[in-house]
């Protein structure tokens, strides 16, 4: 092959290799990849990792008495029976048999779905292929954020004191099932209205599904809320049915009812994850209310003229201190924080306020 030193990422992005993994490659392509994979142990290790990423799972060998015999029989009753374009190499050693196992698992998954599969043949021992989902749990502590990035470009950013358990399915483009506790920002890349959702987020109060979008889900004080920054979101609840959330809306709900629906500045709520806050004729009073809610501090406007000022544009920050500093630089308004960091003062008279 032209490139004999592929990296795992290059294999994942190689369309010919992806066709081979997904079972749509030509006979010549399969033959070339087989030769490259079996050329050296390093190639086999890279191919395993790339296949696992493309397929969405790690393959684990089941316990079997005679691997060559059993996988040959499985091949004959699946790919061989269907006259598939995959070359079987009976003279290879057992270390190379994993490629046939993965190919067989992909075919089995397409036929009967996820679970434990048994292929009996008269009185012969059955071959078992187990899997086929992979579950992970990620948690954060106080003041900690974590970002989980997926191979399709989508990402979950987890806020502090939160956790997500997500499940990856068999197929590369399958919906990522998420169970959330706390708060997380979801950036779903590559979706469209005709495709399956990238994320399906389960909360105690319902399921949030996206179609190519950026949104925030929060679980707090016995209810859930979703803030939609871009795209489309649907909230599904067995008792209420489906609720569509529009761009710029915040929907707050429980299992039994919708508590509130209002248009908001979504970047106020998502800025902790994106580091960006956008303004569109936003008043200082609106900004002050948000800072109080998000950062659990008290904000005092010490200058009466501030109510006439509105903000436009965008600012970038990574902390409360960065936020108030950016606002001060943009508006030319003095902003101070008390020594105990529990109070923020806006206005030209704030320098004369006792900040203790």
Is pLDDT at 355 greater than 60 in this prediction? no
How far, in Å, CA of 256 to CA of 321, rounded?
39
Of 74-88, 116-130, 140-154, 181-195, the poorest mean pLDDT is in: 116-130
Domain boundaries, the chain: 8-129, 134-264, 275-352
Lowest-confidence region among 58-72, 83-97, 255-269: 83-97
pLDDT score, position 351 = 54
Split at pLDDT 50, 70, 90, the class of 56 is: low
- The pLDDT assigned to 19 comes to 81
134-264 maps to which CATH number? 2.60.120.1440
| Spatial separation of the C-alpha atoms in residues 75 and 249, rounded to whole Å | 53
What's the pLDDT tens digit per position in 338-353? 888 889 898 865 555 5
In sequence order, what are the residues at sequence separation of 6 or more whose Cβ sits closer than 8 angstroms to the Cβ of residue 232? 193, 210, 211, 212, 213, 244, 245, 247
CA distance 346 to 84: 71
Least confident window among 92-106, 155-169, 180-194, 217-231: 92-106
What token pair was written down for 199? 């994320």
Taking a C-beta distance cutoff of 8 angstroms, is the pair 185, 274 a contact?
A: yes
Give Cα separations from 163 to 78, 201, 206, 295, 345 (angstroms): 41, 12, 17, 20, 34
Please name the helix (run of DSSP H) or strand (run of DSSP E) that holds residue 243, with its range, or none: strand 241-245
Left, alpha or beta for 180 (phi > 0: left; psi -120 to 50: alpha)? beta
Examine the pLDDT at 3 and tell me if it is beyond 60.
no
Phi, psi of 355 (to 5 degrees): -90, 10
The tens digit of pLDDT for each residue in 287-298 reads: 888 888 888 899
The rounded distance, in Å, linking the Cα atoms of 163 and 315 is 28
Share of the chain above pLDDT 90, in %: 18
pLDDT at 260: 93
A 10 A CB-CB count for 263 gives 10
- CB-based burial label for 272 (10 Å; 0-12, 13-18, 19+): buried
- Give the number of residues written for the chain: 356
The distance of Cα 38 from the centroid of its chain, to the nearest Å, equals: 34
The pLDDT value given to residue 201: 93
Q: What is the DSSP letter of 182?
A: S
Max CA distance (Å), the chain: 91
pLDDT score at 30: 83
Mean of pLDDT values over 58-69: 47
pLDDT in tens, 27-45: 888 888 888 888 888 888 8
Average pLDDT, the chain: 75
Average confidence (pLDDT) over 123-133:
41
pLDDT, tens digit (0-9, with 9 covering 90-100), for 249-299:
999 999 888 899 999 999 999 998 888 888 888 888 888 888 888 888 999
When mean pLDDT is compared across 76-80, 234-238, 242-246, 253-257, the lowest value belongs to 76-80
| pLDDT at res. 84 | 39
User: What global pTM score does this model have?
Assistant: 0.57
Both structure tokens of 11 = 């294999």
**CATH code for the part of the protein at 275-352:** 3.55.50.30
How many CB atoms are closer than 10 A to CB 213? 22
pLDDT band at residue 102, thresholds of 50, 70 and 90?
low
């Amino acid at each position: 092959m032209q490139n004999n030193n592929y990296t795992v990422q290059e294999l994942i992005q190689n369309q010919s290799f992806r066709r081979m993994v997904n079972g749509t490659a030509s006979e010549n392509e399969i033959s070339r990849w087989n030769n490259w994979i079996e050329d050296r142990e390093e190639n086999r290790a890279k191919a395993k990792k790339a296949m696992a990423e493309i397929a969405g799972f790690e393959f684990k060998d089941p316990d079997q008495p005679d691997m060559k015999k059993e996988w040959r029989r499985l091949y004959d009753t699946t790919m061989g029976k269907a006259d598939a374009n995959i070359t079987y190499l009976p003279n290879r050693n057992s270390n190379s048999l994993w490629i046939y196992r993965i190919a067989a698992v992909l075919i089995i998954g397409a036929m009967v779905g996820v679970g434990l599969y048994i292929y009996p043949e008269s009185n012969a021992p059955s071959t078992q292929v187990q899997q086929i989902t992979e579950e992970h749990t990620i948690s954060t502590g106080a003041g900690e954020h974590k970002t989980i990035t997926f191979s399709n470009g989508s990402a979950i950013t987890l806020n502090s004191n939160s956790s997500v358990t997500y499940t990856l399915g068999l197929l590369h483009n399958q919906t990522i099932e998420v169970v959330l506790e706390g708060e997380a920002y979801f950036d779903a890349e590559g979706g469209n209205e005709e495709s399956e959702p990238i994320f399906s987020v389960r909360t105690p109060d319902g399921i949030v599904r996206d179609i190519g979008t950026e949104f925030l889900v929060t679980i707090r004080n016995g209810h859930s809320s979703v803030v939609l920054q871009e795209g489309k979101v649907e909230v599904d609840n067995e008792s209420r049915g489906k609720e569509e959330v529009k761009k710029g809306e915040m929907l707050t709900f429980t299992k039994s009812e919708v508590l509130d629906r209002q248009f908001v500045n979504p970047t106020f709520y998502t800025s902790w994850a994106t580091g960006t806050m956008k303004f569109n004729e936003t008043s200082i009073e609106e900004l002050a209310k948000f800072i109080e809610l998000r950062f659990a501090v008290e904000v005092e406007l010490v200058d009466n003229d501030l109510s006439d000022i509105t903000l436009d544009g965008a600012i970038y920050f990574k902390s409360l201190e960065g936020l108030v500093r950016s606002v001060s630089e943009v508006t030319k308004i003095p902003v101070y924080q008390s020594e105990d960091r529990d109070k923020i003062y806006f206005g030209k008279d704030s320098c004369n306020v006792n900040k203790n």
